[in-house]
């Protein structure tokens, strides 16, 4: 099959908003017979929000994620656009489904994957995708090693993601200009086709470093023109990283003991200046190592009766044991 003719079977229009709503009953305002199935069409922003419960996801996004102020604002803007688009459709003012493909740029660990999962939920609640699922892939999932392997691989991934969101991490690796016969180009062409023809059933989010993505778009104007929303994820400040650490500990039922928070603040100060610093991911990794050290300390004390407090607490020593503190 020619890649350019490829269309996935079973693509269906996104379901209309299906959240339950009270039966309007046969009052004077009731819609004409034949239009009685499902909830009445929403006529106000409040009605769309109530029917879709999209506010819940936006609220969770605000609450659960530290910082990311510009990203959160952009997501609210996109949600507003989609809610209005819905109302416009009901008045017959919009016929085409909006292009929703996005690009999330930022350094590692700035929350791109996490936010993409929330975005999938928002799109699902608003009825722009059939499922709230996100399929996350990289070049290796799409591109084969040998001739003839790429198209089936890419199509398999697209089939899996269809109806939801396809998240392509470090998307620029699909394009390798230094290699004339790189199979990545084949994957890009199939993606472009599906992004255009099946945009009512699949949303693609490209993610990666900002500068590399810019270069990628310069060489792939077709891809660039299909991206409707660009969101840039800033690095976190030291204070935000501390808050993220606290949230991660809370979520796992751990806490910093006396002076451990201070030790972690110092740790972050050193770590942020190191190569390969990866924002919230570095925080998560550092806390994982601290938990290992805490477990070793408790494990060594065979006969002690351990209280919940013992089991909860990360001591300063578990932070200060990091090799970062050892250099001179």
Write out the residues near Mg ion by the rule CB under 5 A. 113
- Which 3-state string (H, E, C) describes the chain? CCHHHCCCCCCCCCCCCCCCCCCCCCCCCCCCCCCCCCCCCCCCHHHHHHHHCHHHHHHHHHHHCCCCHHHHHHHHHHHHHHHHHHHHHHCCCCCCCCCCCEEEEECCCCCHHHHHHHHHHHHHHCCCCCCCCEEEECHHHHCCCCCCCHHHHHHHHHHHHCCCEEEEECHHHHCCCCCCCCCHHHHHHHHHHHHHHCCCCCEEEEEECHHHHHHHHHHCHHHHHHCCEEEEECCCCHHHHHHHHHHHHHHCCCEECCCHHHHHHHHHHHHHCCCCCCHHHHHHHHHHHHHHHHHHHHHHCCCCCCCHHHHHEECHHHHHCCHHHCCC
Count residues binding ligand ADP (CB under 6 A).
17
280 interface partner picked from Mg ion, ligand ADP, none, CB below 5 to 8 A per type: ligand ADP
Does residue 208 touch ligand ADP according to CB under 6 A? no
Among candidates 234, 276, 226, 282, which has minimal Cα distance to 102? 226
Does residue 247 touch ligand ADP according to CB under 6 A? yes
Candidate segments 36-44, 109-117, 219-227, 257-265, binder of ligand ADP by CB under 6 A: 109-117
To ligand ADP, the closest distance from the beta carbon of 288 in angstroms equals 10
Does residue 142 touch ligand ADP according to CB under 6 A? no
Does residue 111 touch ligand ADP according to CB under 6 A? yes
Q: Contact 243/297 with Cβ under 8 angstroms? A: no
To ligand ADP, the closest distance from the beta carbon of 136 in angstroms equals 9
Pick 113 or 197: Cβ nearer Mg ion: 113
Does residue 66 touch ligand ADP according to CB under 6 A? yes
Give the whole-angstrom CA distance, residue 307 versus residue 292.
18
To ligand ADP, the closest distance from the beta carbon of 97 in angstroms equals 27
65 interface partner picked from Mg ion, ligand ADP, none, CB below 5 to 8 A per type: ligand ADP
Does residue 113 touch ligand ADP according to CB under 6 A? yes
Give the whole-angstrom CA distance, residue 221 versus residue 175.
12
Q: Please pick, from the candidates 41, 108, 222, 317, the single residue that binds ligand ADP as defined by CB under 6 A.
A: 108
257 interface partner picked from Mg ion, ligand ADP, none, CB below 5 to 8 A per type: none
Does residue 99 touch ligand ADP according to CB under 6 A? no
132 interface partner picked from Mg ion, ligand ADP, none, CB below 5 to 8 A per type: none
Does residue 138 touch ligand ADP according to CB under 6 A? no
Does residue 198 touch ligand ADP according to CB under 6 A? no
Query: Binding pattern to ligand ADP, positions 280-309, x when CB under 6 A?
Result: xx--x-------------------------
Candidate segments 65-73, 75-83, 198-206, 311-319, binder of ligand ADP by CB under 6 A: 65-73
Instruction: Give the interface with ligand ADP as residue ranges (CB under 6 A).
Output: 65-68, 106, 108-114, 244, 247, 280-281, 284
């Amino acid at each position: 099959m020619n890649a350019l003719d490829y269309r996935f079977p079973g693509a269906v229009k996104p379901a209309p908003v299906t959240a339950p709503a009270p039966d309007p009953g046969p009052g004077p305002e009731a819609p004409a017979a034949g239009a009685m199935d499902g909830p009445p069409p929403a006529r106000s922003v409040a009605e769309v929000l109530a029917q879709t419960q999209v506010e819940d996801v936006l609220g969770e996004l605000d609450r659960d994620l530290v910082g990311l102020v510009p990203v959160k604002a952009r997501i609210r803007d996109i949600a507003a656009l989609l809610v209005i688009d819905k109302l416009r459709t009901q008045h017959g003012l919009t016929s085409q489904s909006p292009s929703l493909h996005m690009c999330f740029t930022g350094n590692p660990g700035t929350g791109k994957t996490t936010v993409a999962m929330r975005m999938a939920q928002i799109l699902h609640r608003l009825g722009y995708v059939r499922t709230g699922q996100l399929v996350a892939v990289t070049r290796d999932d799409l591109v084969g090693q040998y001739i003839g392997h790429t198209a089936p691989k890419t199509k398999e991934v697209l089939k899996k993601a269809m109806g939801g969101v396809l998240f392509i991490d470090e998307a620029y690796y699909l394009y390798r200009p230094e290699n004339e016969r790189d199979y990545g180009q084949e994957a890009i062409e199939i993606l472009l086709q599906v992004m255009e023809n099946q945009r009512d059933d699949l949303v693609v989010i490209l993610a990666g470093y900002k500068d590399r993505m810019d270069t990628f778009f310069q060489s792939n104007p077709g891809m660039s023109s299909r991206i409707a929303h660009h969101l840039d994820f800033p690095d976190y400040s030291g204070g935000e990283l501390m808050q993220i650490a606290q949230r991660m500990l809370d979520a796992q039922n751990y806490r910093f003991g006396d002076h451990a928070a201070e030790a972690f603040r110092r740790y972050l100060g050193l770590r942020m200046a190191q190569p390969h610093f990866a924002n919230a991911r570095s925080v998560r990794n550092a806390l994982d190592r601290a938990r290992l050290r805490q477990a070793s300390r408790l494990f060594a004390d065979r006969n002690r009766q351990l209280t919940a407090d013992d089991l909860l607490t990360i001591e300063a020593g578990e932070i200060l044991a990091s090799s970062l503190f050892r250099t001179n």
